[in-house]
Amino acid sequence: MGPSDDLIKEFCRDRSLTPREEQILIGVCRGLKNSGIGERLEVSDATVRLHMTNLHRKLGTSSKVDLVLVLWDWSIQNSGWSDGATERRLNLGRFSDVKGKVHPEVHENTVRE
């Protein structure tokens, strides 16, 4: 389970992403590997990687986890659900070591307004 296709499409429109980037992001949010995304879209792994590179550049991310977190943050900010008092951001892609272990001091960063 993950974000709805409608939510992802709205996010992509808001961020001026291409229809193909939208399809790639849907696959990422469904937990698919690049090969699985490629199979669904009938494109090569290299083409998926190209679109992933473009998504990372446009959204300022460096991993699939970061992509989902950017979408998650956007959905909270645009839902009216967040009161703005406390936001939690997981910085898994940016603060993990080479083995993917998240450093405890940056695992959960609470920002108070």
**By the 8 A CB rule, do 39 and 24 touch?**
no
Q: How does residue 3 score in pLDDT terms, banded at 50, 70 and 90?
A: confident
Question: Quick one: pLDDT at residue 46?
Answer: 96
Give the whole-angstrom CA distance, residue 59 versus residue 8. Answer: 14
Give the whole-angstrom CA distance, residue 89 versus residue 106. Answer: 9
Q: How far is CA 9 from CA 46, 96, 100, in A?
A: 23, 29, 30
pTM for the whole structure: 0.69
Structure tokens at 13: 């429109």
pLDDT one-digit tens code per residue, 82-100: 554 334 443 344 444 444 4
pLDDT one-digit tens code per residue, 54-89: 999 999 999 999 999 999 999 888 876 555 433 444
Q: Which domains does the chain have, with CATH numbers?
A: 5-112 (1.10.10.10)
pLDDT one-digit tens code per residue, 8-38: 999 999 999 999 999 999 999 999 999 999 9
